[in-house]
Chains A and B, each alone.
Chain A
């Protein structure tokens, strides 16, 4: 009897001890950590790539779609996108780069790729497979024989115009429009427009338009192929005189209206809000306009003169920051981004005409009207395009100051001659060999 009692009490004590130790070891684990570990188990270390780009909403949407797709296929890689319009984009990149806080992957233009590369801010991308890409485009992403940028699209300069309005007015553009044709057309249309509407944007504050103008005169780009200052004084004077006259005639908007131009902003983009009918543009930007007002706009090649005014460029590069901790993952992503057909399905022509011949072939049957317009512009420009050489080191900064000088001239704060001198001075100051 006594044995039985002690036996039972032993059992009770034992079970209590068991229970207490069991709960001691059975603390609920942090849900977050288990999630993370399971993710790690699935596909290597969890990596977050910061990626920055600029452009229109159409490009943002397409790029985000592509990023999602990549994350779906590579669950260990996720993205932290930073995107905006072109205004302020490079200021941001500059600030971030100065703070050594640049995104892993950055969209950079022909204007400033050399600048970033020369400062050692870009990683070597030689290992990225570019076999299917036009060698001319590939070489545009090289700095001192090192691949620092992967071209994302083929691009061409030209003009975008409000075809809907022109159709209403019964105006049709000629196939090979010259600058004179354009200015005449603008003058002809202007009387038919209501107040506050202008037929042409004030190109005097548009360095790209000026370059088109100078090229059409056979005077080359604003710089020589080896990076020397090449703004032609005579052409510059003529260009400013024409636009000053047009401004006075009210064919282009007053300078204070022109400076409110904010690209792709539905309210403040002068083309989108109907203030002007003609604007210089790049082919790759067309989607951004077409996306806001479909079937409204059309592209036309840069007006010609003695020579063609247009040129072909890589629409933009993706580069990898030399400070990136995940450069290898970033390169893998870039390779996928330009070569993969699924990526192409997401991107289509939002970043210009695909650089990979295979991808272009793949997307060709799927192209929309706006996509076709881009390709058409490219084809038309390609026929007698001016040969583009990479921009000299520091050209972006010069460009920003050149715009200011153009604005001062347009506002009448200074005369074209003084402006020319100022530009020449700035160029000497900012462009490094």
Chain B
């Protein structure tokens, strides 16, 4: 999970915001890139097919145009009139007449074929010709000297790429077809050159559009070109590319090859045709559409990203605010006395979280409280135990001495009381144990009642009804005595026949003691009364002790009966063994 580290390290808000906004930005960039690429590819393939079709069509037109020129030139070269003129026979007037007729005839051919701009005839001893006329005569030497002548030396006819000729005082760009005129004896007599205005061919190639097209012959010589001269530079490069790719049709995307400009190259050379047409489309021009798409997408993308940023910010703060509030609440708790303020109204996972946290803090607070209470009680018990830590031997000995004094003085009643007190002490101390068997508890109670009877003249009748088998069960010591004492001290005040019934029963695993008297009855508001120094303290002590030991549902209920008298019910667990209990200690083992 190392790569998930950032999800652990950074703040959720930042992560959420970053991932969301970043993710959408990335998606947009991918969409923009892919759509640009796809549309560019589609455009290139469409353009290629389309251009190839057009180039094929143009090629066919050129074949017919150039074919017509070729045929015309053949027809002229075979013409008797020309042959006779070239023989140059006859006197001066005949020669003049023939040359003049030839001039007019050739001029008329040029006039009747508008595409033929001019006709040049290279021959031995050429007659004069007007520089403004389409038909002109030149010496063969002039042809020999010209650059274009060398390219066609070995063939009877050949095309000459775009070059300038003078017509009148104007320079005209022409494409020329040259044919060697051979006489009947097979001698090379003249060179017939038909000049086609380059503009006318260019307008065929151009088709009223702004295309960059180049026309080559099979020898890879540039015949003419239209379009941006910057793109058309270095024509031989284009031929190299097309010839490197075998086949008569093709296309290639050439990047950075021609003057560092990326271009799409589409070419067509019809089967059996002498013409290679190449169209060059600058990459920039091709991808204008795609760039447009990309730009639009980019704008939409940026707008969307801005929107998404706001949205993400909103969402992030909505999602992380509760978490931060919870964190603030948690860090403030429990040092702050105030309760952490958590937002209300969440019904989703946050609501669950808040409620859970609230419950948790509430429970923790409760636990704190009960812990404090418990420790307070513990201390009390400890204090009580400490109070009880008066040396019992001293008490026993003193009681024994007082008993002897009473016997000597013939005070048998006092002696009996002292005997009973000693017994009670013994049980009360019980080696410091908190729990004693019910038998001992009953004996302690019996001793106390006997002392009171001695004191009050046998007014109290006590009955003890302990269910079989309960004698050996354990009870917290001195549990019943305070209630009996309370009955005697308050309930029986001024009464002569006092009945006290103690009953112990086992009920559903509980041990239930009942102490019933027929006294005056307890006041209903006894619980709210201030504990007096002597009375009440014992009862409270018992109630608290039972609560501390057992808690609910155990405890004490006291009810005054309407007929008079009070019934106290004490419920404790039925304890077969002495429970191990913190805070108890053996008084005997201590060396006081």
- A-to-B contact residues, CB < 8 Å: 1, 4, 7-8, 11-12, 15-16, 18-20, 22-23, 26-28, 30-32, 57, 60, 83-85, 87-88, 91-92, 95-96, 99, 101, 255-256, 259-260, 262-268, 404, 407-408, 411-413
Contacts and interface: CB of A to CB of B under 8 A. Distances in A.
Interface in B1-59: 24, 27-28, 31, 35, 39
A408 B103 CA distance: 18
A15 B304 contact: yes
Contacts of B39: 23
Contacts of B168: 57, 60, 83-85
Contact of B96 (A88, A92, A407): A407
A87 B300 contact: no
Given A4-B311, A99-B112, A262-B128, A88 B133 contact: yes
Interface string B261-293: 000000000000000000000000000111011
Given A4-B315, A31-B210, A95-B108, A87 B297 contact: no
Contact of A23 (B103, B292, B315): B292
A42 B148 CA distance: 45
Interface residues of B, number: 49
A1 B314 CA distance: 12
Nearest to B170: A60
A87 to B, nearest CB: 4
Interface string B199-213: 000000000111000
B446 to A, nearest CB: 76
14 contacts: A8-B24, A19-B296, A23-B293, A28-B292, A57-B168, A85-B133, A88-B104, A88-B134, A95-B108, A96-B111, A259-B100, A262-B129, A407-B97, A411-B91
A101 B315 CA distance: 79
Interface of B: 24, 27-28, 31, 35, 39, 91-93, 96-97, 100, 103-104, 107-108, 111-112, 114, 127-135, 168-169, 208-210, 288-290, 292-293, 296-297, 300-301, 303-304, 307-308, 311, 315, 319
A28 B289 contact: yes
Given A407-B93, A407-B96, A268 B128 contact: yes
| Most A CB within 10 A of own CB, among B93, B103, B209 | B93
Given A32-B210, A255-B93, A15 B134 contact: no
A95 B131 contact: no
A96 B108 CA distance: 10
A97 to B, nearest CB: 10
Contact of A88 (B112, B114, B130, B292): B130
Contact of B93 (A12, A263, A266, A411): A411
Nearest to B27: A12
Contacts of B315: 1, 4
Contacts of A412: 93
Contact of B209 (A22, A32, A264): A32
Given A8-B24, A16-B31, A23-B290, 19 more contacts: A4-B311, A15-B304, A22-B296, A23-B39, A23-B296, A28-B289, A32-B210, A83-B168, A87-B130, A88-B103, A95-B108, A99-B112, A256-B92, A259-B100, A260-B127, A260-B128, A262-B128, A262-B130, A404-B97
Contacts of A101: 114
A4 to B, nearest CB: 6
A256 to B, nearest CB: 4
Q: 10 nearest interchain CB pairs? A: A411-B93, A85-B132, A23-B293, A260-B128, A95-B111, A262-B130, A15-B300, A256-B92, A19-B297, A87-B130
B93 A408 contact: yes
A132 to B, nearest CB: 33
A151 B39 CA distance: 63
A65 to B, nearest CB: 15
B290 to A, nearest CB: 8
Contacts of B307: 11
Contacts of A265: 130-132
Nearest to B135: A88
Nearest to A15: B300
Contacts of B97: 404, 407
| Most A CB within 10 A of own CB, among B290, B303, B304 | B304
B266 to A, nearest CB: 18
Given A20-B35, A23-B293, A84-B132, A92 B93 contact: no
A95 B100 CA distance: 17
Contact of B131 (A7, A19, A262): A262
A28 B97 CA distance: 61
Contacts of B296: 18-19, 22-23, 26
